[in-house]
Amino acid sequence: MTDVTALDQAHGAMEAAPEDDTARLRFYDQLAQSELFLMLAKDADGGDQITPEIFEVGADQYVLVFDREARLTGFAGRAVPYVALSGRAIASMLAGQRIGLGVNLEVAPSAILLPATAVTWLNETLGHSPDEVEAAVTQVHPPSGLPEALITALDGKLATAMGLAQSAYLVGVTYDTGARGHLLAFVGAVPEAQDALARAAAEALTFSGIEAGAMDVGFFPGGEPVVGRMEAVGLRFDLPQPQEPTRGAVIMPGRDPDKPPRLR
């Protein structure tokens, strides 16, 4: 197949630099955010349980996922039942099951077997949230010294956070404690989305190979004076906004990262 996917590219970069921890982290980040087609043993019954096809390799068990439907069909040689889930949801579903992940086996350059320990690590990493701090911003500065990898990771994460906030600013700050650092400030965030936005920022740090303390996360309503100062000196990220409100949306099993489907 000639279609080169983002997962292929991330895998290729990891294989080309086996000693580069950042390249390896970027592969796992891409795996987590990719839509993956999970091979099932039988059609889903419409409930919240699914039955993946289990493959044994030696003493280990694996489920198989593909980042294109055509790749799944190409591997199986026929049409087979599947469910499309994010890599994040699949890692959560497999947590504690001692089941590994076979990715794009035999049909793509990104073919790889990830053992159960790697799946557990990915799920635990995705579950990390930043610590809460109680400090007030007294001064705002232009950001400096942060690696380009973090900027790229933030841009990619926030590009998928449609409608969760109006915008975000990356700035240097001084707190009332005298401490200095960097702050990713979300403006006009939906209250229910604050935890998800904070996790996205934490993931950008983790998968860029940067220590968690390198950047704080804050939430500000629009119109506050400090937001004007951030706009003047900060690096702005515009989050995509929905064109029109959607109503009555149905969340398929596994689409909600907090409620992945159950194995059976």
* Mean pLDDT along residues 25-39: 94
15 and 117 share one domain: yes
Q: What is the pLDDT of residue 16?
A: 95
Helix ranges (H only) for the chain are 6-16, 21-33, 69-76, 87-94, 116-126, 148-158, 194-206, 225-233
Distances (CA, A) of 74 to 38, 105, 112, 247: 14, 10, 16, 36
Provide the domain count of the chain. Answer: 2
15 and 81 share one domain: yes
Output DSSP code: residue 239.
P
118 and 12 share one domain: yes
Decide which of 97, 127, 157 is a domain's last residue. 127
Of 259, 171, 152, 163, the residue nearest 215 (C-alpha) = 171
DSSP per-residue codes, 29-63: HHHHHSEEEEEBSS---SSSEE-BPPEEETTEEEE
Write the pLDDT tens digit of every residue in 8-28. 999 999 999 999 988 999 999
pLDDT for residue 75 is more than 90: yes
pTM given for the model: 0.74
d(CA 123, CA 201) in angstroms, rounded, equals 16
Kind and range of the H or E element at 249? none
Residue 180 within any structural domain of the chain: yes
112 and 150 share one domain: no
Residue 62: which domain range? Answer: 6-127
8/2: higher pLDDT:
8
Q: Kindly report the backbone phi and psi dihedral angles of residue 228, in degrees, each rounded to the nearest multiple of 5, phi listed first.
A: -60, -40
Write the pLDDT tens digit of every residue in 149-205. 889 989 988 988 999 999 999 999 999 989 999 999 999 999 999 998 998 998 888
pLDDT for residue 80 is more than 90: yes
Which residue type does 237 have? F
